[in-house]
């Protein structure tokens, strides 16, 4: 079975797990590929972990969850602190920039987000963490005005954004760097950057120069088609384009996705520079260790709900993060039924 739990409600996933156990008990071998780690760890006899086409680990659910290589693949490495990095101040007394209250959103009859409460203060970096399918990208699209929530509230410094279109949200200073970069492949690097200023054209060329200073590699490729850039260069271009909109808060959805480790380090160094400049950031990234090293605070999502939040240090030490990525311990389930790859 290839991702049978995708899009299912929590209740349906429980029924699916029970059904797969009955099938295995009847003598049929079950081979399961699945992102929902709670389901995986509940029903599997054996787990095989693949990373970039290579078998990373194999063993019982408990053995795999405790494997340092698996934890590193799912949670990522920590970002080494630069000697020039500015120490984080106490952000607890800073005014709220973005507030989300009781947000519910979905794509059909079953909601994807279930009552999300979240706060980002001015000048703060907040990480939003969780496994694939937790609802992180849906939340980011809702904040950016690309997906209309069912109920709840989204406020930017007290101004309600819920019923605004995407262009209005950008005009108020909430700017999304989308997953997958989504640059205009046939346009030049320069034209892609300029497009970020479509609502504010004053001093456009001076602002383009600011981005070329920030990302020198883009200057070298300025008149090339954006589709010919490497993945890392396209990600830098997407961030530069977003910064041209003069964001008050920058939303970054999986900026490290598909990038080489050296490029990821360079990218996060650029994000750290933005942090030191006082930019407010809300960051979604599968490399949880890197995100926590950059962030002041973090929220952990699981199945469309916030299951933990606190300072980066508190979340790093909290078992909820590993549980959200790797599921509950299989040791608590005496009758597993499937073999997962």
Q: Is 92 helix (H, G, I), strand (E, B) or coil?
A: coil
Q: What is the DSSP string of 17-83?
A: HHHHHHHHHTT---EEB-S-HHHHHHHEEEEEEEETTEEEEEE-HHHHHH-HHHHHHHH-PPPPPPT
CA gap 309, 306 in Å, rounded: 7
Residue 324: predicted pLDDT: 74
Nearest in space to 162 (alpha carbons), one of 147, 182, 175: 147
pLDDT of residue 85: 43
Taking 3-state DSSP, the helix, strand and coil percentages for the chain, each rounded to the nearest 5, stand at: 40, 25, 35
pLDDT of residue 41: 87
What is residue 260's predicted lDDT score, i.e. its pLDDT? Answer: 81
CA nearest neighbour of 143 among 122, 123, 128: 128
Residue 47 in tokens: 């787990």
pLDDT for 338 equals 52
pLDDT reading at 73 higher than 90: no
Over 50: is that where the pLDDT of 336 sits?
no
Q: Are 240 and 250 in contact (CB under 8 A)?
A: no
Report the relative pairing of strands 297-302 and 280-284 from DSSP bridges. Answer: unpaired
- Whether the pLDDT of residue 82 is over 80: the answer is no
Whole-number pLDDT of residue 252:
97
pLDDT of residue 232: 92
Residue range 96-303 forms a domain whose CATH class is: alpha beta
Give the span between the Cα atoms of 275 and 279, in whole angstroms. 5
Does residue 193 contact residue 221 with C-beta atoms inside 8 Å?
A: no
**Order of strands, edge to edge, in the sheet holding 280-284?**
174-177, 249-253, 280-284, 125-129, 297-302, 305-311
Give pLDDT tens digits for 60-72: 988 888 888 887 7
Q: What is the pLDDT of residues 21-49, one digit of tens each?
A: 999 999 999 999 987 778 888 899 999 99
- The residue-averaged pLDDT of 173-196 equals 95
Confidence of residue 132 (pLDDT cuts 50, 70, 90): confident
Q: Which long-range contacts (CB under 8 A, 24 or more apart) does 206-214 make?
A: 207/244, 208/244, 210/243, 211/240, 211/243, 211/244, 214/240, 214/243, 214/270, 214/273
Contact (CB, 8 A) for 120 and 249: yes
pLDDT digits (tens, 9 = 90+) for 83-131: 344 445 556 678 999 999 999 998 877 889 999 999 999 999 999 998 8
**CB-facing half-sphere around the CA of 333: CA atoms within 13 A:** 23
Whether residue 184 has pLDDT greater than 90: yes
The percent of residues in the chain predicted with pLDDT above 90, rounded, is 62
Task: Indicate the pTM of the whole model.
Answer: 0.79
Cα(301)–Cα(134) distance, integer angstroms: 6
Return the structure tokens found at 178: 């989308």
| pLDDT (tens digit per residue) in 297-322 | 999 998 899 999 999 999 988 877 77
**pLDDT (tens digit per residue) in 197-253:** 999 889 999 999 999 999 999 999 999 999 999 999 999 999 999 999 999 999 999
Q: Give the model's pLDDT for residue 80.
A: 47
> Residue 126 has what pLDDT?
97
pLDDT at residue 331, rounded to an integer: 42
How far is residue 75's CA from residue 7's CA, in Å, rounded to a whole number? 23
Domain residue limits, the chain: 10-75+327-340, 96-303
CB 103 within 8 A of CB 153: yes
CB-based contact 284:128 (threshold 8 Å) = yes
Model confidence at 333, pLDDT cuts 50, 70, 90, reads very low
- Distance (Å, rounded) from C-alpha 52 to C-alpha 275? 31
243: its two tokens:
């910064």
């Amino acid at each position: 079975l290839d991702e049978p739990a995708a899009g299912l409600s929590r209740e349906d996933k429980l029924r699916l797990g029970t059904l797969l156990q009955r099938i295995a008990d009847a003598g049929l071998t079950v081979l399961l590929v699945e992102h929902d780690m709670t389901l995986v760890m509940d029903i599997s006899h054996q787990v095989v972990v693949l990373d970039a086409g290579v078998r990373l680990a194999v063993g019982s659910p408990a053995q795999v969850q405790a494997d340092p290589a698996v934890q590193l693949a799912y949670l990522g490495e920590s970002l080494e602190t630069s000697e020039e990095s500015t120490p984080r101040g106490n952000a607890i007394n800073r005014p709220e920039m973005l507030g989300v209250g009781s947000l519910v959103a979905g794509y059909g009859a079953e909601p994807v987000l279930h009552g999300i409460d979240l706060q980002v203060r001015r000048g703060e970096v907040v990480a939003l963490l969780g496994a694939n399918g937790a609802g992180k990208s849906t939340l980011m699209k809702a904040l950016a005005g690309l997906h209309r929530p069912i109920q709840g509230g989204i406020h930017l410094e007290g101004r309600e954004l819920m019923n605004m279109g995407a262009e209005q949200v950008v005009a108020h200073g909430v700017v999304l760097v989308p997953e997958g970069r989504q640059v205009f492949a046939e346009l030049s690097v320069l034209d892609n950057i300029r497009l970020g200023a479509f609502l504010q054209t004053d001093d456009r060329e001076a602002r383009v120069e600011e981005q070329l200073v920030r990302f020198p590699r883009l200057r070298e490729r300025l008149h090339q088609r954006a589709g010919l850039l490497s993945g890392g260069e396209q990600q830098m271009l997407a961030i530069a384009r977003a910064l041209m909109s003069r964001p008050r808060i920058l939303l970054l959805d999986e900026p490290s996705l598909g990038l080489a480790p050296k490029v990821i380090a360079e990218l996060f160094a650029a994000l750290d520079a933005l942090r030191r400049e006082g930019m407010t950031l809300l960051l979604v990234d599968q490399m949880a260790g890197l995100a926590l090293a950059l962030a002041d605070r973090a929220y952990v999502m699981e199945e469309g709900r916030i299951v933990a939040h606190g300072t980066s240090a508190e979340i790093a030490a909290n078992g909820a993060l590993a549980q959200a990525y790797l599921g509950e311990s299989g040791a608590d389930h005496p009758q597993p039924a499937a073999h997962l790859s």
